[in-house]
A = this chain, B = another copy of it.
Amino acid sequence: MAKITYIQAILAAIREEMRRDPTTFVMGEDLSIWGTADGLPEEFGRERVRNTPISEAGFIGAAAGAAVAGSRPIVDVTISSFVYPAMDQVVSIIAKSRYLYGGQAKLPLVLRLGLYYGLGVAAQHSDRPYPMFMGVPGLKIITPSNPYDMKGLLKSAIRDDDPVMCFEDTNLWSQRGEVPDDDYVIPLGKANICREGTDVTIVAISGMVRHAIDAADALAKDGVSAEVIDPRSLVPFDRETLLDSIKKTGRLVVVDVAHRSCSVASEISAIVAEEAFWDLRAPIIRVTTPDTHIPHSPAIEHMLYPDKTKIMAAVRQTLS
């Protein structure tokens, strides 16, 4: 057991799985830049660690084809905003092939996509696009919120025989946590109850989980007992843990750094308004990024994202 960073957890997961399964391989642009491929070319060779041209549709589509033909690609899309040029390959090919061919095709591939917001890089680089993929059947989606989950979920994703999108919050890159050196996996579709509580349920996604925990800690001092749930995977989604919690608390705040409209926060709210309405004792509050673009200027960027203060205010609103 060692304290390693979120980035190191990614690398550890990839390295271990590449050792375990010779059909895995890595590809992406400028793999050497980010630290998630350090040592891989040396250990596995350039055939299995491939630097691509800047051709997202080309190499993401090639990943689909390689997967269909029996390999297991792990694709570094780097910043999630760069998935749009390959959108058709993701939606029309990766998500749909198995179904179109009546189950003949298997697409065991992983797309890794960084959520690169909060860095002053403006609207074209700061996307958090996972909600749009949640509306496309056939794609599994994980959103690891700490190094331990990262390693365990990513290893599961690499072993999964279906395509998995792994959204990585780059604001957590240098976050450290205890991560076992040995092999472990976290199953997709099992939420994590980060903190138990009885007054209100806070569901938070990805980098928002730590803010939710901070808020819950602060609220505890005021005598408010908040339960914090990290779904860990959006598809499959652990409905049971969510609904059980609402049964107990009767109140829900959902924290999602995506834009508000058609966000995962909206989806979770809709699930609860449909399936747990009679348990609810207050409006469901979404704490999201508003429906504006992300500006470059640091003076006005950070205020747009959910944070501890906004979460606390939302919780108070459900209690009033």
A262 within 8 A of B: yes
Q: Kindly specify which of A182-190, A193-201, A291-299 makes contact with the partner chain.
A: A291-299
**Those of A223-265 within 8 Å (CB) of chain B:** 235, 258-259, 261-265
Contact with B along A91-125 (1 / 0, CB 8 A): 11001100110000000000000000000001110
A284: B residues at CB distance < 8 A: 270, 273-274, 277
Tell whether A96 pairs with B265 under 8 Å between CB atoms, given A85-B57, A132-B135, A283-B277.
no
Task: Name A285's closest neighbour in chain B (CB-CB).
Answer: B274
The residue that A272 contacts in the complex, of B129, B259, B273, B286, with Cβ under 8 A, is B273
Question: Shortest distance in angstroms between A1's beta carbon and chain B's nearest beta carbon?
Answer: 37
Whether B262 pairs with A267 at a CB distance below 8 angstroms is yes
Question: Shortest distance in angstroms between A277's beta carbon and chain B's nearest beta carbon?
Answer: 4
Whether B259 pairs with A262 at a CB distance below 8 angstroms is no
Tell whether A135 pairs with B273 under 8 Å between CB atoms, given A99-B293, A123-B96, A124-B92.
no
Question: Shortest distance in angstroms between A289's beta carbon and chain B's nearest beta carbon?
Answer: 9
A293: B residues at CB distance < 8 A: 95-96, 99-100, 137-138
Q: List 18 A-B contacts (CB under 8 A).
A: A57-B85, A85-B88, A87-B88, A92-B124, A100-B124, A131-B132, A135-B262, A135-B263, A136-B259, A137-B291, A235-B261, A262-B262, A262-B264, A266-B266, A266-B267, A270-B270, A273-B273, A273-B280
A132: B residues at CB distance < 8 A: 131-132, 135, 262
A278: B residues at CB distance < 8 A: 283
Whether B270 pairs with A277 at a CB distance below 8 angstroms is no
Question: Shortest distance in angstroms between A138's beta carbon and chain B's nearest beta carbon?
Answer: 6
Whether B262 pairs with A273 at a CB distance below 8 angstroms is no
Distance between Cα atoms of A273 and B271 in the complex (Å): 11
A272: B residues at CB distance < 8 A: 273
A235: B residues at CB distance < 8 A: 261
A262: B residues at CB distance < 8 A: 131-132, 134-135, 262-264, 266-267
A269 within 8 A of B: yes
A266: B residues at CB distance < 8 A: 262, 266-267, 269-270
Question: Shortest distance in angstroms between A196's beta carbon and chain B's nearest beta carbon?
Answer: 24
Task: Name A137's closest neighbour in chain B (CB-CB).
Answer: B291
Question: Shortest distance in angstroms between A96's beta carbon and chain B's nearest beta carbon?
Answer: 4
A71: B residues at CB distance < 8 A: none
